[in-house]
Amino acid sequence: MISPVPDFFVWGISHKNAPLALREKCVLDPQGEAALCAILGECRLSEWVLLHTCNRVEIYGIGKIAPEVLAARFAELRGLPAPDLENVFYHAYGAKALSHLMCVAAGIESQMVGETEIFGQVKDAYAKAAAQGFTGALLNRLFQKTFQAVKDARSNSGVSRGQVSVGNVAVELGERIFGDMAQARVLVLGAGEVGEKTLQAMRSRGAEKITLASRTLEHARETAERCGGAFVLSLDEALAGLYRYDVVVASLAASEGILNGTLIQWALAKRKFEPMFFIDLALPRNVASIKGISDAYLYDLDDLSRIANENLRQRLAEVESCRRMLAEKAIKVWQSLCQRC
């Protein structure tokens, strides 16, 4: 028997309402995710899926709980004053919550509108929750219907035109700075998903002088091989030779401020103050504040989203068309579920 449909909700925070400095404090490591799931169990949710990306933390759940209670518990978990979340969290119920889920999975709620990585992240979040026994009949159905709806909407709209992704936008920024990326000496810090996509995008645009560094040298080697090759270093070796690079793309997990002001000033001095450009794709951010450091230029996720969305006006009609398709689909799915309950 499916749980009462009206109990379905979404609660979350994202780039839509929360500034980067606050989102950074909401990032969850595996222990934090486990602790949040324990809280959701204490709140007597019968089912839930936790979606956690660099720009959002969302809970899709079945149960009766005040959104303010979730905000208070989450603030406590992250060591934040409760008022910090009072004006930034959002919530919705029923068909509106389902429509939101569909729009998130389709990429039209993303910071880079139309990006495709989020679809895989939603699928992974659902699969993880299902494997841990956190989902049941209702969420299983809602997420499966979501995946079908998103595929249909993407096939019938141009919302993803341009292959929007963090990696592609990072390369576009590099091209704006250098013109020809083949001449730029590039260091990619982090061999995870973001680092790999950035490396792929760099190579596709003609960058040749690329070094990939990771905490685990073997991981960096495997990633470089999948992407067609790159010079590989350990993280310590890369930081010791930071001055050799024109562009540094940072995507290291849980390495807040690893590129600090002292290190950057040392690298610039070694370069005779030839400019360096830092593109920080990590959250928490890898690059500490460069305020007051001459010849160092820093771009973060918010900067990249502005670049990615410069052509949004051209795609706005497609975005709205996709949104309408998904809203209509959400209502139909919801009405069907209500009739069954």
Query: Which residues form the catalytic set?
Result: 54
Nearest-angstrom CA–CA distance, 338 and 7: 11
Handedness of CA 104, 106, 110, 113 (dihedral sign): negative
Nearest-angstrom CA–CA distance, 168 and 114: 13
- Does residue 171 sit in helix, strand or coil? helix
Nearest-angstrom CA–CA distance, 240 and 306: 32
Nearest-angstrom CA–CA distance, 212 and 209: 10
| H or E stretch at 250 | strand 247-250
Residue keyed to tokens 């996720």: 301
Distances (CA, A) of 182 to 74, 174, 208, 209, 240: 46, 11, 5, 7, 23
Burial (CB < 10 A; 0-12, 13-18, 19+), residue 129, is buried
